[in-house]
Amino acid sequence: MEKSRKADFPVERVRHYLEPGPVVLVSSACDGERDIMTLGWHTVMEFSPSLVGCLISAGNHSFELVRRSGECVINLPTAAMVDTVIGIGNTHGDAIDKFDHFGLTAESSDRVAAPAIAECHAQFECRLVDDRLVTDRNFFVFEVIRARVAPEPAWPETLHYTGDGVFMISGRHIDRRQQFRPGML
Amino acid sequence: MEKSRKADFPVERVRHYLEPGPVVLVSSACDGERDIMTLGWHTVMEFSPSLVGCLISAGNHSFELVRRSGECVINLPTAAMVDTVIGIGNTHGDAIDKFDHFGLTAESSDRVAAPAIAECHAQFECRLVDDRLVTDRNFFVFEVIRARVAPEPAWPETLHYTGDGVFMISGRHIDRRQQFRPGML
């Protein structure tokens, strides 16, 4: 897999990549440990501050790294990375270093200590801002404080999980801008 | 638009339809009022009980109906309903009855008082189970207590919003079941 060159991207526009519901890879680090997990349960929650809510099941090795550090990076893999995405979801960070095991490049982040994944299309550096639902629902509210995105393609093919081993691949895009009231875009 | 015939569907499997991130139509009712809103900010949160988290902005007429009744129906529109989906998102339930205005059929739900939308592909009857993040984040945690889905097609074309008036339409599906560890599906 190749690393992708990225440019800064406005954090208040992360919906462009996250709102359609792609599977993401969440990377984190704490006390010399690092991990990656596959995650499909997330939602945009606000434009500015740029908030994203994520369900990180407590059974994941990443859970404690994210909870203790209060940080993570949400990385967007393309559909070409499907085997890696499945592999990461099938393994446990207790036993292996997933960067090494899957040949992924840990890239320094700008605003958080958690490493980003250089091979992904986009990386969103996050800070935990609300942990009220963490303990009993595993639900983390993050603020995206820095976003870096590969400029091309504008619409990468993304993976959308449906359960039972089946992924939907993002399809065509339709522009209906003219049907929207200003302010409703 | 035609109504679709539906069959019961196991609530613990709603990820099949909701996890890929489609735009949904949320219908609700309270004290003789009813409304529909377009919503793209939601995430699956648990299999059983079947939990779905939704961001319903307080500016929506539906916000108070859902909050006060503690119920709603999450309806899944197909891509063919795109004009209706946009129209519902562009209008305010204060001024019009959206069922009448958009020619949609309000269907009695089984377990909640909120009406379902007969023309949608699937309807998920929900009860509010956690309102801790409602007041300051507009985030509702619902339990899906009843699901009814049109048996065909198994993979309806769905709309996935990306901002700026552009929708992604769900594409092809790939089956990678054999790559998953049992228990990780």
Spans of chain A, pLDDT less than 50:
none
**pLDDT tens digit string along B94-126?**
989 999 999 999 999 999 999 999 999 999 999
Distance CA A39, CA A18 (A): 12
* For A171, nearest residue in chain B (alpha carbons): B171
Identity of the residue in A90, A179, A185 whose CB atom sits nearest the CB atom of B180: A90
**Which among B16, B51, B171 has the least Cβ separation from residue A170?**
B171
B162 and A41 within 8 Å at the Cβ level: the answer is no
Nearest CA-CA partner of B91 in A184, A84, A127, A35: A184
CB A101 within 8 A of CB A93: no
Neighbouring residues of A152: CB distance < 8 A, sequence distance ≥ 6:
none
**Model pLDDT, residue B173:** 98
CA–CA dist A62, A38 (Å, integer): 10
CB contact under 8 A, B174 and A177: no
Q: How far is it, in rounded angstroms, from Cα A162 to Cα B148?
A: 17
* CB neighbour list of residue A142: distance below 8 Å, 6 or more residues apart: A51, A52, A53, A54, A72, A74, A126, A127, A128, A129
What whole-number distance in Å separates Cα of residue A89 and Cα of residue B19? 16
Residue B185 has pLDDT above 80, yes or no: no
pLDDT digits (tens, 9 = 90+) for B150-165: 999 999 999 999 999 9
From the list B133, B157, B166, the residue facing A173 with the nearest CB is B166
Q: With a CB-CB cutoff of 8 Å, which residues 10-69 of chain B face chain A? A: 13, 15-17, 19-22, 40-46, 51, 53-55
Neighbours of B155 (CB within 10 A): 16
With 80 as the cut, is the pLDDT of residue B183 above it? no
Q: Are B74 and B123 in contact (CB under 8 A)?
A: yes
Query: Tokens standing for A135?
Result: 């303990």
Which of B42, B167, B173 has its CB closest to that of A43?
Answer: B42
Predicted pLDDT at A63: 98
Burial of residue A47 (CB within 10 Å: 0-12, 13-18, 19+) is middle
In this predicted model, what pLDDT tens digit does every residue of B122-153 receive, in sequence order? Answer: 999 999 999 999 999 999 999 999 999 999 99
A162–B13 CB contact, under 8 Å: no
Please list the alpha-helical segments (H only) found in B57-155.
61-69, 82-90, 98-101, 134-137
A182 touches chain B (CB under 8 A): no
- CB-based contacts of B139, cutoff 8 Å, min separation 6: A45, A53, A141, B53, B54, B55, B133
C-alpha B185/C-alpha B15 separation (Å) is 11
Write down the ipTM of this complex. 0.97
Residues sharing a CB contact under 8 Å with residue A182, sequence separation 6 or more, in sequence order? none
Cα distances (Å, whole numbers) of residue A109 to A5, A71, A168: 14, 11, 30
Which tens digit of pLDDT belongs to each residue from B49-89? 999 999 999 999 999 999 999 999 999 999 999 999 999 99
CA distance B136 to chain A (A): 11
| pLDDT at position B14 | 97
